[in-house]
Chains A and B, each alone.
Chain A
């Protein structure tokens, strides 16, 4: 948001930054080799809610596009709302590359449709002893790790390990005060 916009009180949401989203595709190999964490076959896209009529048409549009383009890769998808009212597109596919490509594609479509500012986060789930997530924030344009424990606690040590091992491959958010968790994700 420019300075002029702010003093004029114009609210303009920052456009989604997708340029570094793709970095996760190669990171999966290192995750497995160094940490023993493998992709869990699920990824999600979190979209900020829009006005209901808008949402319905957008949802239908996404649904159509998804079922069309997913015939090739065999990716399964669901669209649902969470407790905060956010929309989730959850993809299920054992092939990690397909997940990454499809998430990327949905983002592209949404941005083309003018929903770019509504994109909040893309989430990739990995499994080891416990599930860990890489959250890509479209506002920050970077990834950060999220290792939830029971009772809304975070396994900070695990998140540090994820950061130090993946630092060379993933664009990781430097300011840890922005590593906001996402509790109770539908994936």
Chain B
């Protein structure tokens, strides 16, 4: 049997990020409580809203994306791939949806494993071959298995509260000034909320990227073939290995039209929910190398 190495580094970074988020949130709550119970209304309101959103996430996202649930008869190949992957990953069979869009994309949603939905666009089905599609679906199923929807909802909850405070506190502070003291606490809450919002935003993005790495890893483990996901990721991002023959392109002008397809930028990475293609491929290559050595 193949032994899959556990990625300790990834686990450690994920734990650290979640720990830092918890610290920030606790501090935020402490400040809110010390500044008066009034603010609790916002938290309760936001909590209700997020709970609603979480509970109905599948329906909301599906209708936002224009996804249509398809039966086994309508998409037999998709159902077959997913049911096989679910058997391997020990997951209940999710519903399957198709988005009518030429953009190659796929996503998973749903509040728990029983209510999960996996959706693919028509574009991705055209672009990828069978084994690449399988790798992408395995990536989405790993999101479901890792309960990423729940993790990210919890992680973003207080961040959304802070964001709400920053946006609407100036209006509320102006109109509801019952006593002179509220001016001081208003500024404190505003500044703290702003800080919490910014810091938690960066941490949440980092957490999201780690969850993506984990899902890539899961896809590699479920399918047993990291190379299929690498190839799928490259195709989705619009890059393809050239198909023009070497002997045809061999000429003095070739340097003009060859643009570097991959580029690395670290500042932008801080603000993105997905890791760069290059980083994902590198991580998958390490898994592949771990497989054979």
Contact surface of A with B, Cβ cutoff 8 Å? 11, 34-35, 46, 48, 82, 84, 86, 120-121, 135, 137, 152, 154, 156-161, 163-165, 167-168, 175-183
CA distance A25 to B100 in the complex (A): 50
CB-CB under 8 A from A120, the residues of chain B are 246-247, 250
Q: Is the CB of B228 within 8 A of A154?
A: no
Chain B hits for A180, CB < 8 A: 242, 244-246, 249
- Known contacts A157-B131, A157-B132, A177-B242: A167-B285 contact under CB 8 Å: yes
CB within 8 Å of A: which of B26-50?
none
Which residues of A are found within 8 Å of B262, using beta-carbon distances?
A: 175-176
Give Cα A165–Cα B285 distance, bound, in whole angstroms.
8
CB contacts between A and B, total, < 8 Å: 92
The answer on a CB contact under 8 Å between B246 and A121 is yes
CB contacts (< 8 Å) of B236 on chain A: these are none
Asked whether A177 lies within 8 Å of B289 as measured between CB atoms, the reply is no
Contacts of B225 in A (CB 8 A): 157, 161
Closest to B293 in A: A34
Query: Which residues in A have their C-beta under 8 angstroms from that of B246?
Result: 120-121, 135, 137, 180-182
Q: With a CB–CB cut-off of 8 A, which chain B residues contact A176?
A: 234, 239, 241, 261-262
Q: Report yes or no: A178 in contact with B227, Cβ–Cβ below 8 A.
A: no
Residues of B within 8 A of A121 (CB): 246
Chain B nearest Cβ from A183, distance in angstroms: 6
A182 near B259: Cβ-Cβ < 8 Å: no
Determine which residue in B132, B250, B289, B293 has the highest number of CB atoms from chain A within 10 A of its CB, and name it: B250
Q: Determine if A156 and B241 form an interchain contact, defined as CB atoms under 8 angstroms apart.
A: yes
The interface residues of chain B lying within 8 Å CB-to-CB of A181 are 241-246
Mark B residues whose CB is within 8 Å of A: 131-132, 225-228, 230-231, 234-235, 239-250, 252, 258-262, 284-285, 288-289, 292-293
Given contacts A48-B250, A181-B243, contact A161 B289 (CB under 8 A): no
In angstroms, Cα B225 to Cα A157, docked, is: 9
Main secondary structure of the interface of A (DSSP, over half): mixed
Q: Are B228 and A157 in contact (CB under 8 A)?
A: yes
**Which residue of chain A has the shortest Cβ distance to B286 in the bound complex?**
A164
Chosen A-B contacts, 14 in total, with CB atoms closer than 8 Å, are: A84-B247, A84-B248, A120-B246, A120-B250, A135-B246, A156-B234, A157-B225, A160-B227, A164-B226, A165-B288, A177-B241, A177-B258, A177-B260, A182-B247
Nearest CB of B to A151, in Å: 11
Decide if B243 touches A157 in the complex (CB within 8 Å).
no
Q: B289: which of A82, A158, A165 is its contact (CB, 8 Å)?
A: A165
B241 CB, min distance to chain A CBs, angstroms:
5
Chain B residue at minimal CB-CB distance from A162: B227
Are A46 and B247 in contact, CB atoms less than 8 angstroms apart?
yes
User: Are A161 and B252 in touch, CB under 8 angstroms?
Assistant: no
A157 with B230, Cβ < 8 A, contacts A120-B246, A165-B289, A180-B242 known: yes
Complex Cα spacing A11 to B255, Å: 14
Bound Cα distance from A34 to B292, whole angstroms: 6
With contact pairs A157-B227, A160-B230, A161-B288 given, residues A182 and B245 touching in the complex (Cβ less than 8 Å) = yes
A-B pairs with the 5 shortest C-beta distances? A180-B246, A161-B227, A164-B288, A164-B285, A157-B231
Q: How far is the CA of A177 from the CA of B222 in the complex (A)?
A: 29
Among residues of A, the one whose C-beta sits closest to the C-beta of B135 is A157
Chain B residues with CB under 8 Å of A182's CB are 245-247
A-side contacts of B244, CB under 8 Å: 180-181
Q: How far is the CA of A167 from the CA of B286 in the complex (A)?
A: 11
A11 and B289: CB pair below 8 A?
no
Q: For residue A168, which residues in chain B have a CB less than 8 angstroms away from its CB?
A: 289
